[in-house]
Structure 1
């Protein structure tokens, strides 16, 4: 399996967590902003895994590191909020 697929799975998870967050925290303040951060990050990472420039970026060492740091940060943000 390509390493890009792991990031694709993380992106799916961020999209799902963001939508679950939207449903179960309805009525909270700043809910739209938090959900947009989570879902937006997942959508950006997901789109990077499909397009050739994104795949090249993710395949580089710097791109991989940056993408994983952003993905882990967004996941922790989603879980802790």
Structure 2
């Protein structure tokens, strides 16, 4: 059985969206064998899809992705502060 999570980040400016994509690309490209993922950036919407055969593995991967997104958005807010 395949477990799947889709995340969307909307309304981020172009620079932060590109930063998020570039930060997540290595992680998506090196997912464990039991997982696969994709990144898509259209206009101001970033879409991340991750699926894994094991739910625990999916949870770990998604937590890491959410942490990266959150950190970059917080960093942007501090810089613009």
TM above 0.5, yes or no, is no
- State the TM-score, normalized to the length of structure 2: 0.44
More strand per residue: 2
- State the TM-score, normalized to the length of structure 1: 0.44
